[in-house]
Amino acid sequence: MSCFTFLKVMMILFNFIIFLAGGTLLAVGIWVTVDGSSFLKLLGPFRVEALLFVNVGYFCIAMGALLVLLSVLGCCGAHKESKCLLITFFSILMLIFIAEVAAAVVALVYSSVAEDVLISKVKPTLLDHYGKDPKVTKVWDAMMSQSKCCGFSNYTDFSNYSQNGDSYPSACCSAHNATCSQEAAYQSNVKGCFELLSVIKKDANIVGGIAAGVCALEVAAMGVSMYLYCQLDKTTR
């Protein structure tokens, strides 16, 4: 097998891997988008921060779909030994590579401040509006009941609420059929919902890691495609 033929096979193999990576990126983008959207109601007036994560998900969906289509273009270019398809493949892949590097950097940098955003925006909303704003109260009660968690950090987030004569939310106590007092909430020791909310940060890290892996594959595919293009240029002389 000649070097040229070997690289044609490698080109097809790389594009098959890119096809799988594009499909994975597409699936992860859908996952992040759906997962991030579930927190928009909770953040209330601070939805812009959550939308940044959702936008990363949409970006991954678009990139994943484009990679799937691009892998087909690369395979056809290598199989038919078409200079036009190869240079088109290289040019588009180069643009995607640059865009993905930018997206990975944004995702990784933003994930480092995600925890601070949650603490500075979500927790004050709970402390200031729970029991006063029916919408905030309903959202938190539903989330705590379904996720079996209590408050943002723990039951102490509702100390001001209980001082007004109200008992702690039933989710903060193991025995939901009884009045949830401070002592009962303390003994139940139900964990806070911060672990649930911080899944957004984990999503951003996962997206950044997958994008970095895809970028490595794309660099290899670009190198092979350019080599094949140059070799075809020599054979046509």
Give 61-103 pLDDT, tens digit per residue. 887 888 888 888 888 888 787 888 888 888 888 887 887 777 7
Read out DSSP for the chain? --HHHHHHHHHHHHHHHHHHHHHHHHHHHHHHHHHHHTTHHHHGGGHHHHHHHHHHHHHHHHHHHHHHHHHHHHHHHHHHT-HHHHHHHHHHHHHHHHHHHHHHHHHHHHHHHHHHHIIIIIHHHHHHHTTTSHHHHHHHHHHHHHHT--SSSSGGGGHHHHHTTPPPPGGGSS-TTS---HHHHHHHTPPPTHHHHTHHHHHHHHHHHHHHHHHHHHHHHHHHHHHHHHHHHHHT-
Domain ranges of the chain: 3-115+198-235
What's the whole-model pTM score?
Answer: 0.51
Least confident of 13-17, 34-38, 49-53, 192-196: 49-53
Tell me: the pLDDT tens digits for 113-143? Answer: 666 766 777 788 888 888 888 888 888 888 8
